[in-house]
Chain A
Amino acid sequence: MKRKKLLTLLAVVLCSVFLLAALQRLLMPKYMGLVVEGNFIHEYYEETSDHDVIFLGDCEVYENISPIVLFREFGITSYIRGSAQQLIAQSYYLLEETLKTETPRAVVFSVSAMQQYEQTNETYNRMTFDGMRWSSSKFNAIRETAMEEEHMIEYLFPLLRFHSRYNQLEPDDFRYFLRRGKVTHNGYYMRADVRPVGHLPAVRRLADYSFDERAWEYLDRMRSLCSEKGIAFILIKAPSLYPAWHDQWDEQIVAYAQEHQLTYINCIDAIDSIGIDFSQDTYDGGLHMNVYGAEKLSRYLGPFLLEAGAVDRRDDAELAAVWAEKGLYYDSMKAQQEEEFAQFGYLKQFKTEE
């Protein structure tokens, strides 16, 4: 009798957990349409080989650097751990997580995240965290950067956050129920459409150009995490024309890099030597690079990375095979987007009602 009761209880619990898990999977956004940024973080876990270089940051890294080109032309294995409006604290905890499983030779951090320490939109947090595996790093990252009305439990059980999607389910939710499609190339978000730089808003002067104390603190923590493991820590500013990167900000980063003997590459100053043509190399009027801009920037960065300790791995047959497959996917997506753009003048997937 007692055994029967126990079995019933067990069945009830298992059944509930299974149903809830399935429901949660169904209701979570799949990020396979217009917005794909929610898939960036978790794709890293599917990697089978290690990386010599890890890029950290927001759109200024994941749209501007092509790891495929870095491997093809320099033999550098790399991965971009970036997501939309990824805060510096989130980059730190992603680095912490990454270093638990591999030790790269160089870590490149995009300093644009210094300008804003706190999250402004909960959606970005969800896109960064929902793809992250559970660990103390994730827990601490959420605690540090969650907005006021966000709860830890809603990250533990995302169903509590997305429950009201029950009447907004789309075909994608069923199609990608079991497995989502691959959307990045080692964290790189490819766009092969072109929208030249047009009118840029005037640069507004700020009352205060100092960075948040906490941002400095996390920059220090990233630096010491790298130096503990003998990893080169490189700072980079992407060559975007907007939003503005103020000289006053740049000076602070230059001073910091000097003080700690770090390499700081401000690509805005090197736009000409990189060879960026803003009528061809951007897909959104100067905010972000398209694939052509990203490839140029990657070629520019390659030598810096080799100098920082990355090694040419093209001779490694195993790695070469892995990367050859990545290359195929990269080329086919690029060809397909180019064709679509030539035919329609836009990319269907990313077409918004304008």
Chain B
Amino acid sequence: MFLVSYEFMLFLLLLTAVYYLAPKRFQWILLLAASYLFYLCGGPVYVVYPLVTTFTTWFLARKIGTVTADARRHIKEMKLGREEKKAYNQTVRKRKKPLLLLGLFLNFGILAVLKYMNFVLQNTNGLLRFFRVPMEFYAVGWLLPLGISYYTFQSMGYLIDVYNGKYEPEQNPARFALFVSFFPQLVAGPISRFDQMKEELFAAHPFDFRQVKLGAERMLWGYFKKLVIADRLGPAVSVIIASPAEYNGIYAFLGMVGYTVWMYADFAGGIDIVIGAAQILGVKLPENFDRPFLASSLAEFWRRWHMTLMQWLREYIFFPVSTSRLSKKISVLTGKIFGKKASQKAPVYVANIVVWLVAGIWHGASWKFVAWGMANCVVMLISAELAGAYRSWHKRFAWTDTKGYRCFTVVRTFFLFCCLEMFEYYPFTTVFAMFGNMLTSSRISQLFDGRMAALGLSASDWRLLGVSVAVMALGAVFRRFHGFREKLDQKPVWLQYAAVFGLFLVVLLTGAYGHGYDASQFIYNQF
């Protein structure tokens, strides 16, 4: 059962009715039951994985919590001095650490085995062939449980937070289970934090017509992005990026921009559906996109695209790695060779490389994604190095403060991101050749040769795509000044109705669903 299916809508409709009729204290239990029902639809076997993660994480976090609480009580009762306290805290940390590591190894282990086993086996086979060892591993046919990357990251964030004493662990395993598997976010995130979600999930939610309306509107907007744009554009873009030899020149450019728009419409549309569905149930989920294509630098872009994952990586990988003992050692070492300035930068470099390695691997078990991560890493480091130069450049030339210049930086960032995405779909060895080909042999006339027809989109499809993407872009710019839905809410009823019903009709009629269209699933499903 996916977010774009009749089943999902029926499911949500029935759940909403029952949810608001049920006694308030049972609401969260209903959500838990619904979430597991949702999971069961994907195949009963897969329920085992989230159950294992839920139970182990809950258990270990509770243990860690007990140790912390005991330690606090001990410190208070014994009235320890500063030095004693420090020493005592060290021993407490030693007792907690194995519990944390156990949780991390177990759950990231499940993820690694399920998601990356074939990748490892393939590469091992490659090595074996290289050394002419007459041996081969067969690929395993394990299927990934729904949203495993998302709930694993979310649960591990929780475990680390409890370890660091950020908040108290949840005592009730059922409540924790709901946090791990809350159904709207199960498929594609956002990755949320327990301290933010606790209130949202477990509080009583009386029926609020306005919230339901706003949630439904948000979902509709998501379906617009997903059905009208992504699912129409996706098949055509897939054709282009699948055969770089045939689709070169201006098609490489078309594919590049198309891929980026497709990714955004698909992922952000999915997130709109998720957040909207949760809002209908009175649950506020964290935002995952903040109009990323309005960013004026790649660093800013990554603060506005897939925000919850990037926050996770920053909080649990970037900062810990950059302050780790290993980074310190590398810093000291580089300091000895390259001087003080380099020594200060070393931790940033180390942490950045690790983060982008993880981000790359997270996106998929393939060297392509590793290359994509590294490409991002290089660009980020270069722009960090140039930050000082940029500042003096801006100071020197007043015109860099104008709207026009800002637009330029936005467009530049968009194309920078587009180019980096090429690493995601072209094999590493062809990326640079395709890039060169795109720059040197693009001709407008190529758009009118036979290759266009093979993309499977009619002229009216392209027109519709053009208008829809423009509407989506305008939506993003417009929201810069005020929340669109909130603003609409102030208008007369007939205008609200006309706007919402109009959009509904557009999605209903022009959505690429049903016969003649592939029921394409969310690109981000298996991450």
Contacts and interface: CB of A to CB of B under 8 A. Distances in A.
Contact of B501 (A8, A16, A153): A16
Contacts of A19: 501, 505
Given A8-B493, A23-B505, A166 B515 contact: no
A166 B509 CA distance: 7
A167 B460 contact: yes
A163 B460 contact: no
A154 interface: yes
Interface residues of B, number: 18
A302 to B, nearest CB: 43
Contacts of A23: 505, 509
Contacts of B509: 23, 163-164, 166
B499 to A, nearest CB: 13
Contact of B497 (A12, A159, A163, A167): A12
A164 B227 CA distance: 12
B6 interface: yes
A164 B516 contact: yes
Contacts of A159: 508
A149 B515 contact: yes
Contact of B6 (A12, A15, A122, A153): A153
Interface in A153-196: 153-154, 159-161, 163-164, 166-167
B81 interface: no
Interface in B480-524: 493, 497, 501, 505, 508-517, 519
B510 A161 contact: no
Q: Is the interface of A mostly helix, strand, loop or mixed?
A: helix
A151 interface: yes
A154 B510 contact: no
Interface string A124-157: 0000000000000000000000000101011000
Given A16-B501, A151-B6, A163 B493 contact: no
Nearest to A167: B460
A320 to B, nearest CB: 46
A23 B511 CA distance: 15
A149 B5 CA distance: 12
Contacts of A164: 509-510, 512, 514, 516-517
A168 to B, nearest CB: 9
Given A122-B515, A151-B6, A154-B514, A163 B508 contact: yes
Interface string A14-30: 01100100010000000
Nearest to A151: B6
A149 B513 CA distance: 11
B170 to A, nearest CB: 39
Contacts of A167: 460
B490 to A, nearest CB: 16
Given A16-B501, A167-B460, A161 B6 contact: no
Contacts of A12: 493, 497
Interface residues of A, number: 18
Contacts of A153: 6, 10
Contacts of A149: 515, 519
Nearest to A168: B460
Contact of A163 (B6, B10, B511, B519): B511
B515 A161 contact: yes
Nearest to B464: A167
A266 B501 CA distance: 57
Nearest to B511: A163
Nearest to A27: B509
A160 B514 contact: yes
A166 B510 contact: yes
Contacts of A163: 508-511, 513-514
A47 B300 CA distance: 71
Nearest to B496: A12
A166 to B, nearest CB: 4
A19 B505 CA distance: 10
A8 B209 CA distance: 14
Contacts of B510: 163-164, 166
Nearest to B458: A167
A123 to B, nearest CB: 9
A161 to B, nearest CB: 6
A167 B510 CA distance: 9
Contacts of B6: 151, 153, 160
Nearest to A12: B497
A12 B519 CA distance: 31
Interface in A296-316: none
Interface string A27-69: 0000000000000000000000000000000000000000000
Contacts of B501: 16, 19
A149 B518 CA distance: 10
A12 B500 CA distance: 11
A19 B509 CA distance: 13
A11 to B, nearest CB: 9
B502 to A, nearest CB: 11
A167 B460 CA distance: 8
A9 to B, nearest CB: 10
Nearest to A153: B6
Nearest to B512: A164
B487 to A, nearest CB: 20
A146 to B, nearest CB: 12
Contacts of B508: 159-160, 163
B424 to A, nearest CB: 30
Contacts of A161: 514-515
Interface in B1-59: 6, 10
Interface string A194-207: 00000000000000
Contacts of B519: 149
B232 to A, nearest CB: 10
Contacts of A151: 6
Nearest to B519: A149
A15 B513 CA distance: 25
A119 B226 CA distance: 31
Contacts of A122: 515
Contacts of A16: 501
A166 B510 CA distance: 8
A154 B508 CA distance: 12
A159 B6 CA distance: 14
Contacts of B493: 8, 12
- Scoring A23, A154, A164 by chain B CB atoms within 10 A of each residue's CB, the highest score goes to A164
Nearest to B510: A166
- Scoring B6, B511, B515, B516 by chain A CB atoms within 10 A of each residue's CB, the highest score goes to B515
A134 B6 CA distance: 20
A326 to B, nearest CB: 36
A335 to B, nearest CB: 40
B195 to A, nearest CB: 38
A251 to B, nearest CB: 39
A11 B506 CA distance: 21
A122 B515 CA distance: 9
- Scoring A8, A122, A167 by chain B CB atoms within 10 A of each residue's CB, the highest score goes to A167
B493 to A, nearest CB: 6
A128 to B, nearest CB: 16
Given A19-B501, A154-B514, A161-B515, 9 more contacts: A8-B493, A23-B509, A149-B519, A151-B6, A160-B508, A160-B513, A160-B514, A163-B510, A164-B516
7 contacts: A12-B493, A19-B501, A149-B519, A151-B6, A160-B508, A164-B510, A164-B517
Interface of B: 6, 10, 460, 493, 497, 501, 505, 508-517, 519
Query: Ordered nearest first, which 9 A-B pairs have the shortest CB separation?
Result: A166-B509, A153-B6, A163-B509, A167-B460, A12-B497, A8-B493, A151-B6, A163-B508, A161-B514
